[in-house]
Structure 1
Amino acid sequence: MALKPTEASQTEALSLSPLLAEFFAYLRHERGFSAKTIHSYQQQLQAVASQLNQTDWCLLTEAQLQQHISSCRQSLKPRSLALRVAALRSFYRYLQLQAKVADNPALYLQVPKFDKPLPKNLDVDQLQQLLDVDASDDLLACRDKAILELFYSSGLRLDELVSANLQDIDWGDALIRVRGKGSKERILPIGRLAMQALREWLEQRAALVNDDEPALFISKLKRRISHRQVQQRVKLWSQQQGLSQHLHPHMLRHSFATHMLESSSDLRAVQELLGHASLSSTQVYTHLDFGQLAKVYDQAHPRARKKTTDD
């Protein structure tokens, strides 16, 4: 008989070595990693253990790990290899913290480079077309308009929007508190039109659910809307509004970042709004080229600016 997903997960957990089990507990409870990331790391590390037939992680050397990575080049794509190396490096950093190994044998592993695909974005006219939703007589359309407006207004990730609660919104100051990757919180402004759409949805929301439901967005089943439902509704509205390309929530986040950067040229501010840990992530996200970055650097860095007559 096939195992249910929960049963399968429990079986996987039981088969983990003690070190791996401790590592994943550390990622979950102390580092705040998402279940999806932990599952990916678990798959990668279990694959390494299986292929190397090694039960003692502390005895593996850099040469053994590099040989393993090289042997996987034909069977794994560059992105998967990079994920495997990332999992190994993170695991051995944990073992170093626990004083179980002196050095990190995965630190200098070489992986093939790969180009990160740049997500597409909608231009301003396409966004106007998408957001021009008549939600006057339709409860779900009212909800969906608020979802679309909030995505574009504040650059939320899908998980951040789905996880949002009523109490996360400061209705007076037009702000929303979100929990991003690694459970890191940040506070974001909400635009005027998005606030208007949210207030209209709040008036309609009571018809679906009582006051003790904390979720900001709920489904017809009177519970928190799911990731899949949001994806389906975004796709539906892109079709109904006559957009020619397939639309997904991440494209709205990317459109937000692109338009903000085009208007402000403030890379650091956009980084903060997006919740990126590093500036390099924002650079890729907003498809800046090196020339643009160099221009920002030359204008902003005290030891890069050209002297003026006032200096």
Structure 2
Amino acid sequence: MSGAKEVSSLEAPVEAWLRALQTRQVSAHTLAAYRRDIVKIQRFLAESGCTDWAELDRDRLTRFISPLLGTNALLPASVQRLLSSLRSLYDWLNAQGLVSHNPARTFSIKRPPRELPHVMESDLINALLDAPAPEETEAARRWKRDRAVMELLYSSGLRVSELSHVRFEDYDASGGLVTVLGKGRKTRVVPVGRKAREAIADWLPVRAHYARPDSERWLFLNTRGDRLGERSIQRALEEQALRAGIPQHLHPHLLRHCFASHLLESSQDLRAVQELLGHASISTTQIYTHLDFGHLSRVYDQAHPRARKQ
């Protein structure tokens, strides 16, 4: 039996499913992740002599998943994502009449406890963002850009991919708003604080220095006049944290965590923080409620009849 033929007969429905997702404007990043996940199980089925997705049942799925967890070949979170990809594929196969079951629908693994996000104290963030500019000319230019990037990440809770793709027309300086394209290609509009607006205004003359005639209208550019990519933002933050003497590893998502935690601590408005972060589910946002035990204790002491001091 030809392995190439087996893979091909399994591959055709997958390609059709991915094309269908593409018409629904699923992001290229998500499509690539789906493809990587499904290719793993596609190979397993081919090696097992299967030529049709209808042959995958719960027993075969268990034989595929168990070694991944037992040998730590994949983290539990990665296995969960793989199962999610498989559920999506089988929902589509079902709708097309190609299968009559979904082996991944009731298949579950024990979820590991979710780690609390790390946050920086506001004093450390102030030390980072209020650090003096370098004296050397080019370093000072990069500092103006990097400070604007950090201020916007912390001010508006953006994901690094969202910030990297902000264009001029997405930023409303007078209204103090920025429009971003988030996960699931969902657009949201979030406020931009005063300090971030000032830092962006300080960066724009430098941006004009970096821009080329053919540069696109990205808000943040690298020194060659191209869009400032996500990895470049990561390196820039590491450099600025080192220069400011920050003892904590600084990465873009940490500033998003700080935005959420500090805002929730001050406002106690979980639903508003969910909207600002662009979380589809409030359960994702609720993790930040575990970070301020002091506030919860004070609320309990003040509100519970048996906790009030006489």
TM-score range relative to shorter protein: 0.7 to 0.9
The alignment's C-alpha RMSD in Å is: 2.8
Q: Does 1:247 align with 2:250?
A: yes
Q: 1:254 to 1:34 in 2, by over 3 A?
A: farther
TM-superposed deviation, 1:28 = 3.3
Normalised to the residue count of structure 2, the TM-score between the two structures is 0.83
Q: Does 1:23 align with 2:21?
A: no
Q: 1:71 to 1:210 in 2, by over 3 A?
A: closer
The answer as to whether partners of 1:130 and 1:243 remain within 8 angstroms in 2 is yes
TM-superposed deviation, 1:167 = 0.6
Picking from 196, 213, 220, the partner of 2:198 is 196
Q: Which moved more, 1:64-73 or 1:166-175?
A: 64-73
The answer as to whether partners of 1:133 and 1:145 remain within 8 angstroms in 2 is no
Picking from 169, 172, 175, the partner of 1:170 is 172
Picking from 219, 224, 229, the partner of 2:222 is 219
Picking from 82, 96, 102, the partner of 2:100 is 102
Counterpart-to-counterpart distance in 2, 1:199 and 1:223: 19
TM-superposed deviation, 1:266 = 0.6
Picking from 89, 92, 103, the partner of 2:90 is 92
Q: Does 1:32 align with 2:21?
A: no
Q: 1:109 to 1:288 in 2, by over 3 A?
A: farther
The answer as to whether partners of 1:134 and 1:141 remain within 8 angstroms in 2 is no
Q: Which moved more, 1:201-210 or 1:150-159?
A: 201-210
Structure 2, unaligned stretches of length 5 or more? 1-7, 306-310
Q: 1:284 to 1:98 in 2, by over 3 A?
A: farther
Q: 1:70 to 1:252 in 2, by over 3 A?
A: same
TM-superposed deviation, 1:135 = 4.0
TM-superposed deviation, 1:60 = 2.0
TM-superposed deviation, 1:213 = 2.5
1:73 alignment partner AA: L
DSSP 3-state at the match of 2:209: coil
Partner of 1:270: 273
Partner of 1:157: 159
Partner of 1:182: 184
Q: Does 1:62 align with 2:64?
A: no
Q: Which moved more, 1:246-255 or 1:102-111?
A: 102-111
Picking from 15, 33, 44, the partner of 1:51 is 44
Q: Does 1:127 align with 2:120?
A: no
DSSP 3-state at the match of 1:73: helix
The answer as to whether partners of 2:9 and 2:51 remain within 8 angstroms in 1 is no
TM-superposed deviation, 1:203 = 2.3
Counterpart-to-counterpart distance in 1, 2:248 and 2:292: 25
Q: Which moved more, 1:17-26 or 1:75-84?
A: 75-84
Partner deviation per Cα, 1:225-258 (whole Å, 9 max, x = no partner): 1111100010111111111111100000000000
Q: Does 1:41 align with 2:37?
A: no
TM-superposed deviation, 1:93 = 1.8
The residue correspondences of 1:63-82 to structure 2 (distance < 5 A) are 63-75=59-71, 76=73, 77-82=75-80
Percent of paired sites with the same residue: 38
Counterpart-to-counterpart distance in 2, 1:284 and 1:239: 29
Counterpart-to-counterpart distance in 2, 1:175 and 1:33: 24
Normalized per residue, which structure has more helix? 2
DSSP 3-state at the match of 1:22: helix
TM-superposed deviation, 1:288 = 5.5
1:24 alignment partner AA: L
Counterpart-to-counterpart distance in 1, 2:292 and 2:63: 35
TM-superposed deviation, 1:91 = 1.2
Partner of 2:308: none
The answer as to whether partners of 1:118 and 1:284 remain within 8 angstroms in 2 is yes
